[in-house]
Amino acid sequence: MCHQSNYHENQSIKMNPINDQPSSSKQKSFQHKFIRPVVITTDDSLIQVNRNYHNSLSTKTKRDRITINVSGKRYQTYLSTLENYPNTLLGNKQKRMYYWNGQENELFFDRHRTCFEAVLYYYQSNGRLRRPDYVSLDTFLEEISFFDLGLQAISQIDQLENVSIIKHIDLPNWFWRRYIWFYLEYPQHSICAQILHFISMSITLVFGMTLAIETLPTYNKQWYNLCEKEENITLSTNDIPICSARFSSPFFIIQR
């Protein structure tokens, strides 16, 4: 009986060698020999670093994202995209803060929506600007100047739209010469310019009418009649007299 009880005790130790509270000295000695306690420690610093990393990513994406409200329609983009062009209205922090709406946490612009989509594409595409087909060129250029995209964007539109740049005209230095030139070049400037334009047009019309009247048959024979008066009929000769009056007509004058 004693041998059988020892066998069951040893058998129970083999089947369940780990107990929270050992009931016998043999179990304690067995655990001390063959079982090593393993202490599981949680690295709180590592968990805290991971939490801070994920929190920083979430806050970074939230702070880097900006909402732009254009006449009721909202657009979202990243500040890093806008700040690639710091000289523009949206890329400069000081310039865009004038349009900041603190209650809604967004920028508000009362501007053309369709044009703004092209402006936003300019930031997202690294400087490619295209005018929408159903937007007039004047309206699009006005929006470009408002958002202060710069001369490079305007020159890009000029090349695509075949817009010629107005050349600078150097006016005369003298005061009266400058006014006379301006009156003759731009007659719609003032009443005096319109009067000068009317006089110059009248002189041009009168001169053109006189040239046209001289070609009429009634006025074309005056040179022939003048030569008949100067012709000497008393001489009996077959030679054709040469009358210099025929060549005094404006149609026979050769300019050098």
Per-residue pLDDT of the chain (256 residues; tens, 9 = 90+): 444 444 444 444 444 444 444 445 555 554 554 445 444 444 554 444 445 444 544 444 555 889 999 999 999 999 999 999 999 999 999 999 999 998 999 999 999 999 999 999 999 998 899 999 889 999 999 999 999 998 889 888 888 888 776 777 777 777 788 887 877 787 877 888 888 888 989 999 999 998 888 777 776 655 555 555 555 555 555 555 556 555 555 555 555 5
Using CA atoms, how far apart are residues 255 and 231, in angstroms rounded to an integer? 28
Sheet of 73-78: strands edge to edge? 73-78, 65-70, 106-109, 100-101
Beta bridge partners of 156: none
Which H/E stretch holds residue 77?
strand 73-78
166 phi and psi angles, rounded to 5 deg: -70, 125
> How confident is the model at residue 232, as a pLDDT?
55
- For 49, 52, 123, 202, the CA distances from 61, given in Å and listed in that order, are 18, 14, 18, 74
Strand partners, 66: 77
Q: Map residue 131 onto helix, strand or coil.
A: coil
| 80: three-class secondary structure by DSSP | helix
- Supply the pLDDT for residue 17: 44
pTM of the model: 0.45
- Which residue is it, tokens 């702070």? 63
Find the DSSP H helices in the chain: 2-15, 25-34, 44-64, 79-82, 93-96, 113-124, 137-146, 151-161, 175-185, 191-214, 217-220, 222-230
Q: How far is residue 131's CA from residue 134's CA, in Å, rounded to a whole number?
A: 9
Which pLDDT score is estimated for 255? 54
Q: What is the DSSP secondary structure assignment for residue 246, as one 8-state letter?
A: G
H or E stretch at 252 = none
Residue type, 38: V
Are the C-beta atoms of residues 116 and 146 closer than 8 Å to each other?
A: no
Q: Look up residue 160 and give its amino acid.
A: L
As a whole number of angstroms, the distance between CA 132 and CA 140 comes to 8
Structure tokens at 160: 């695509």
Secondary structure element (H or E) that encloses residue 66, with its range: strand 65-70
Domains of the chain (ranges plus CATH)?
Answer: 49-161 (3.30.710.10), 175-232+240-252 (no CATH)
pLDDT value for 242: 57
**pLDDT at residue 63 in the model:** 57
Report which DSSP code applies to 215: T
